[in-house]
Structure formats: structure tokens, C-alpha cells
Chain A
Amino acid sequence: MTDTRATILVVEDEPEIRRFLRSALGTEGYKVVEAGSVKRGAIDAASHKPDLAIVDLGLPDGEGIELIRQVRAWSPMPLIVLSARAGEAGKIAALDAGANDYVIKPFGIGELLARVRSALRGVVRPSGGGHTLKLGGTAIDLDARTASRDGTPIHLTPIEYRLLTCLARNTGMVVTQGQLLREVWGPAHESDTHYLRIYAKQLRDKLEPDPLQPRYLVTETGIGYRLFCD
């Protein structure tokens, strides 16, 4: 699957969960490093320089969110959170601390692998310059601020471009409502979620073949949005 054998750090204290993660990730061709605590995870993250880390939120020596903050302070590697908690608040806190995505326990391995692939792909792609998004028949040049659908130019507003730029930084990954509102409208508008609803609808009407069941601009209910590209 991956020719370069990406290294994945798994920080999870339950040995049985580590077992099936190791097995599945190994089968997919990833090199797996395992840690069972915040402390061990921080050391392994620094020494192995993994391409991605999967972090359980409840660890024996502290909260996984601590590890996320530590790693995010020096590395842009994608971080996927394993969350057993049903509440949205914990997930949002982890995402705002620097995590890129989350999977809720119990999860099917297919779901986790899809997130891992998506996260690794997101990193490889937009390495500076030429920010062009392809969403089905729609092509968007974020730098030149031009867009066309099926060859015909379409008009996007400055805020729509800013929103897309923000989401495109990590395509396929979750960006929280708070992050989007802060970046696009400013810190004073952090809880003006109606701005997001109105612009998400506008964008979908312009970009999606079926705005009710979007393929590209996807809502993570109660959390935020993801942008998928082709």
C-alpha cells in the first residue's frame, strides 16, 4: 500500500487494543511503534519521528490531550485521537489542542484505516504553492482566487475562498467550528455559528452535485467541517 513504509506511533494503554491496531496497521504496510503512556509517547514521538500518531485520550499517567499539545509544539505530524467519550466537548478540546481527526471507540478498523490514509495523503499533497483544489467537476485556485465548474467560471466570495483555504490546509481532516470562525471572521465571532451555516450552504450550492448529501464539504455534526478533494 505505502511504498515508503510510513511509521505510525500508537499511544494506547490497553494491550488488547494495541494488539489489533498493530495487526491491522502492519497488514496495511505501516511500521508501528507502540507506547502505553503520555511519557513514553512523548519520548517515542521525539526519537522515532513517526509520520503520524494515534493517541488514546485516557492514558494512565495523564490525558492524551497533554501529549497532543507537547507533540504539536514541535511537529506538524497528523494526530488522530481515539476517544471513548460520547460528549462533543472532549473531541473539540483535543482538536483545538492540535489533533487533526478523531475516531470514537468502539470503532471498526476500516474506519480507522480510512482516517490514517486520508491524514497521510493530506500531508503529502499541498506542500506549498499552487493551491488548486479539485472537487469533482469544480476546480478552485486558492491563490489566484478563481474557480470553474465543468469549465465554466463560477464566482466565489472572498469569505468563501478564505473558508476553503482554511479547510484545505488539511484536506480530509476535521477543522472545528471555533477554528474556522476565528480564522475567517476573527476571534470576536468564535460563537457565531450561523455565519458558518450560511456560508456552508452557499458553498454547497455552488460546489456540490447534491447539496443535501455533500461529498466534498462534509459536516461533522456538533464539531466542525472536513473538505474532501478528488
Chain B
Amino acid sequence: MREHTNTPRLQAWHGYLAALLAALACTFAGYAMQPRFDLVNIAMVYMLPVVGIALLSSRGAAIFSAALSVILFDVLFVPPVGVLNIEDAQYLLTFTVMLAVGLAISSLRERARLEETGRINHAIEAERERMRSTLLASISHDLRTPLSVMVGASSSLAEHGEQMPAAERSALALSVSRQAQAMAEQTEKVLQMTRFELGDLELHRDWNSVAEIAGPVLLRLREALAQHRLLTDIPGDLPLLRVDAPLIAQLIGNLLENAARHTPPGTVIQLGARKLEQFIEVTVEDNGPGLPEAALAGLFDRFREQRIGNTSGGVGLGLAICRTIVKLHGGEISASPRAGGGTRFTFTLPAEAAPQAPAEQESAQP
């Protein structure tokens, strides 16, 4: 978009220069032609730059070119030479014709340019529309399925609960509860992505440790990770980071959940962190089947899962939210094939010089 608004301005500036150079060129050509051609033909030569400038540059440059051509032609070729002869109606006509041609061409060109811009805007609008309908489709799928379960199971309970065996009743109730829980999580993700896109988010940074953020996440995801083998490698001496802890917790949680959801049971999932020069790097890797190269590109775009045929739930916002959180913190996130099979997600967070707590006076100990 930006290129399109800049281009005509550049051409306009160049247009005036081109008009000047073209008029000079015509003047030389005119002198060369003078012995053998009529004045009216020399006037035709002066018409050329007007047409050219009107085609290639702005309306202003075209008017400038027409005026310049008429003045030069009048002063240098129409007798008496060396005087601007404005009373001669003939040459006023010449000027009017040149101006009319210049304006006509540049307005035609303007119309074509507007149509082009309109076409581009239309394409952008269409893309936006496509995103919107993808979002709607995925949300309605993600909401309708659990809603169907909830309405069906709960109405069964309400209407036939008494005739059911107790185990049947609890199974139905549990499925209502699980679906509702999943729906609550999806809703939260959509709301959060919306807040991100509206720019309605302020980071609450304070000093935190990766280990302390990761602990509660692992506790919360105990059930989701129960089928996998979890390994952790977070050194105790990592420096503290100034981050928004709940967002980083969500980021780590999304990556772990993502790994658990897309790899078969028994897969090893490893959460690691290490200090680099100016960053702390956190990795979530698995030794699952891995992702094809094609799927790695655009992995952090919204609604990706829907596009590659999502069967495991989720509107595909999880990784997009991850990317936004990392960017907000001034870090980078990427996904790559893991050496030896599987996928490796890595994000970095800038490490500032971490402050120390004041030393304690141990003499206060009773």
C-alpha cells in the first residue's frame, strides 16, 4: 500500500524535470528542422513532450509542459523571434490545444490509476473478508460441537436422569462439564486475540524467573500431559527476567498443550531454558512425528489449524497468541524440525541486568 501512495509523488517531481529536459530537446530539434519544415510542424514537435509527460506524470507537470512548449515555441520560432508574442490568436490556439491534450491524457490516466487502487483495496478487503469468514466458520464449529453435546447431554439428564444408572448419569454430566470447560478456554483465546488486535493490552512487567513461571503451568497441565513423558531442564541459576508473568505462563502453556495435542501418547516433551548472550531461550521440543517443512511456514498465523484440516479442536489461535506475546516482549519465536525427529519450538526473551536482593545481616538470627 505504502509504495502506491509514494510512487506518484516521486514521478511528479521527476515530471517537471522531464518536462524541462524534453522542451530543451524539442528546441534543439526545432532549430535543426527550421530550414526545411513549416512552423506548424515544429509546433507539432513541441506537442510530443506534453503528450509524454501527461501519460507518465502528474497533471501539474503536463500543464507545466504545455506552457513551457508554447512559450519556447513562441519566443524562439514565431517571428519576431526573441519576443513573447501573446497577441497572436494562432499561437493562443496552439497553447489551448496543447493544454487540452495534456489535461485529457492526464485525466484518463488518473481514472486508470484510481481503478487500479480500487482493485487493490478490493483485494485487501476480500482477504479480510476471507479471514473473517474463516474465523466465523472455525468459531461456529468450535462452539456448535460442544454446545450440541451440552444441550443433548444435559437435556437427557433432565428428562431421563431418574431412569439412568448412576454411572451413566455421571458420564453425561462429566461430558457436559468437559465440553463447557473447553468452550470457555476457546472463548478466552478468541477474546484475547481480539484484545491483542485492538491494541488493548498493556504489559505488566516485573521481575520473574522462568522456573517459577513454569511450575504452576506444569501443575495446571498435569492432566493434559499425563499421556506424555515430560522432561524439564531449567537451570536454577538463570537470571531473572522483566516480563508479564501471566502472559509468559500462557505462552509456555500453549506450547506444551500444542505439543501434547499434536503428538501421540508416550512421546517425550521437553521444556528447557538456557542463557544466551543477551537473551533467555526457552524451548519446547518433542520427539513425535514432526511437521513437514511446508507446515512450518506460517505456523504462527491465525487459523492455521483450520487450513491444514484441524481435527483435534482449537480455533488455531494458540500459536498466533504465542507469537504476539513474544513480540510484545521484544523476543523471537520459531519452529523447526528437531534433530533426531519431532518438532522444536523456541522463543527468546531479552535479558536485562537482573538486580540482586540486599544481603541479609545474619547476626539478626537469634
Residues of A bordering B, CB below 8 Å: 86, 88-89, 106, 108, 145, 157-159, 177, 191-195, 197-201, 205, 211-214, 218-222
Interface residue B34 (Cβ < 8 Å from any Cβ of A):
no
Which of B191, B209, B244 contacts A197 (CB under 8 A)?
B209
Which of B180, B191, B246, B360 contacts A221 (CB under 8 A)?
B246
Within the assembled complex, what's the spacing in Å between the Cα atoms of A158 and B219?
Answer: 30
Which of A106, A157, A191, A205 contacts B236 (CB under 8 A)?
A205
Question: Could you tell me how many residues of chain B have their Cβ less than 8 Å away from some Cβ of chain A?
Answer: 37
For residue A145, which residues in chain B have a CB less than 8 angstroms away from its CB?
365-366
Please determine whether B216 and A194 come into contact, CB atoms closer than 8 angstroms.
no
CB neighbors of A among B209-241 (8 A): 209, 211-216, 218-219, 232, 234, 236, 240
Given A211-B236, A213-B215, A220-B216, is A201 in contact with B366 using a C-beta cutoff of 8 Å? no
Within the assembled complex, what's the spacing in Å between the Cα atoms of A191 and B360?
Answer: 19
Residues of B bordering A, CB below 8 Å: 177, 180-181, 184, 188, 191-192, 204, 206-209, 211-216, 218-219, 232, 234, 236, 240, 244-246, 249, 354-357, 360, 362, 364-366
* Chain B residue at smallest Cβ distance from A201: B209
Please determine whether A212 and B211 come into contact, CB atoms closer than 8 angstroms.
yes
Please determine whether B212 and A219 come into contact, CB atoms closer than 8 angstroms.
yes
Please determine whether B216 and A108 come into contact, CB atoms closer than 8 angstroms.
no
Please determine whether B184 and A197 come into contact, CB atoms closer than 8 angstroms.
no
Please determine whether A222 and B246 come into contact, CB atoms closer than 8 angstroms.
yes
Please determine whether B212 and A193 come into contact, CB atoms closer than 8 angstroms.
no
8 closest Cβ contacts across the A-B interface? A194-B207, A222-B246, A193-B206, A198-B357, A158-B364, A195-B357, A222-B245, A221-B249
Within the assembled complex, what's the spacing in Å between the Cα atoms of A199 and B240?
Answer: 13
Please determine whether A213 and B219 come into contact, CB atoms closer than 8 angstroms.
yes
* Chain B residue at smallest Cβ distance from A106: B184
A205 CB → nearest B CB, Å: 7
For residue A221, which residues in chain B have a CB less than 8 angstroms away from its CB?
213, 216, 245-246, 249
Within the assembled complex, what's the spacing in Å between the Cα atoms of A8 and B251?
Answer: 37
Within the assembled complex, what's the spacing in Å between the Cα atoms of A158 and B363?
Answer: 9
Which of B177, B215, B356 contacts A198 (CB under 8 A)?
B356
* Chain A residue at smallest Cβ distance from B354: A194
**Can you list 25 residue pairs at the A/B interface with Cβ under 8 Å?**
A86-B192, A88-B204, A88-B246, A89-B204, A106-B181, A106-B184, A145-B366, A157-B362, A158-B360, A158-B364, A177-B206, A192-B355, A194-B240, A198-B357, A200-B212, A201-B209, A205-B236, A211-B236, A212-B218, A212-B232, A213-B219, A218-B216, A221-B246, A222-B204, A222-B244
For residue A195, which residues in chain B have a CB less than 8 angstroms away from its CB?
357
